[in-house]
Amino acid sequence: MKRNVEPKVLYFGTPVVLISSRNPDGSTNLSPMSSAWWLGYTAMLGMGTSAQAVKNLIERPEVILNLVDPAMVAALDRIALLTGSEEMSDKKRARGYRYEPDKFAAGGLTREPSDLIELDAVEESPINLEGRIVNIHEIGGPDSLLCALEMKVERVHVREDLLMSNDRYIDPLRWDPLIMKFTEYFAGGAPAYASSLARGWEMPPMPIPASVGSAD
């Protein structure tokens, strides 16, 4: 039997991405997000319009998508509740968000120069996608404060051990993306880390095996 329900979130399982965008002062803002999908060389990114990344990309459309694997989960969680915007809603503040201008340092991540644009990529990311935002679409009506950003991917960097013999293919057995599922981190179908985001959203606690670590 099935029931009609209204879940708090509909994150059935999507890859985690760190977005590099340019702040007004020229520095690189790093934003974790997990509403991304690809078709051809186009990526669609779902975000809230109040995010500093969205504000940056409206004015300066150059962008890098730094894909995340399970080895990066602790660093990712360290910046999960950080924002590059000094202004935030009461709801966001109540979830535990705080302002942090240097998320690379906060997460213990390394800056890496990009090829095509003046932004810092994340060296620890196994895959980096450089490009630009070509369209921004409103989602859910003007009161939703949500949008989808359409990115044209112009350059792809992949760690060599993930490539098959023909460099046009990434080995799906070696590439293991970190997945966000209902605000929880998963790798290989199993819980990967205790999620600060889940606590901020007041989600029911999920048992995390001690062997996979816990939030700092």
Calculate mean pLDDT across residues 181-195. 88
Domain annotation covers residue 4: no
Domain annotation covers residue 205: yes
Residue 143 amino acid letter = D
Domain annotation covers residue 203: yes
Q: What CATH number has the domain bearing residue 153?
A: 2.30.110.10
Dist CA 18 CA 44 (whole Å): 14
Q: Could you tell me the two tokens for 83?
A: 């924002």
Residue 214, pLDDT > 60, answer: no
Calculate mean pLDDT across residues 59-78. 96
Cβ contacts of 103 within 8 Å, gap of 6 or more: 29, 30, 31, 79, 82, 84, 109
Residue 213, pLDDT > 70, answer: no
Per-residue CA distances from 108 to 74, 76, 111 (Å) = 9, 9, 10
Q: Please state the domain count of the chain.
A: 1
Which tops the pLDDT comparison, 213 or 98? 98
**Mean pLDDT score of the chain:** 90
Q: Could you tell me the two tokens for 211?
A: 């062997």
Domain annotation covers residue 3: no
Domain annotation covers residue 7: no
Give the model's pLDDT for residue 215: 47
Domain annotation covers residue 61: yes
Give the model's pLDDT for residue 201: 76
Domain annotation covers residue 201: yes
pLDDT band with cut points at 50, 70 and 90 for residue 173? very high
> Is there a contact between 186 and 192 (Cβ–Cβ < 8 Å)?
yes
Give the model's pLDDT for residue 105: 95
Which tops the pLDDT comparison, 216 or 34? 34
Which residue range is the domain that position 182 belongs to?
Answer: 14-212
Q: What is the pLDDT of residues 10-54, one digit of tens each?
A: 888 899 999 999 999 999 999 999 999 999 999 999 999 989 999
Give the model's pLDDT for residue 33: 93
Calculate mean pLDDT across residues 205-210. 73
Calculate mean pLDDT across residues 166-177. 90
Residue 159, pLDDT > 90, answer: yes
Give the model's pLDDT for residue 210: 62
Domain annotation covers residue 180: yes
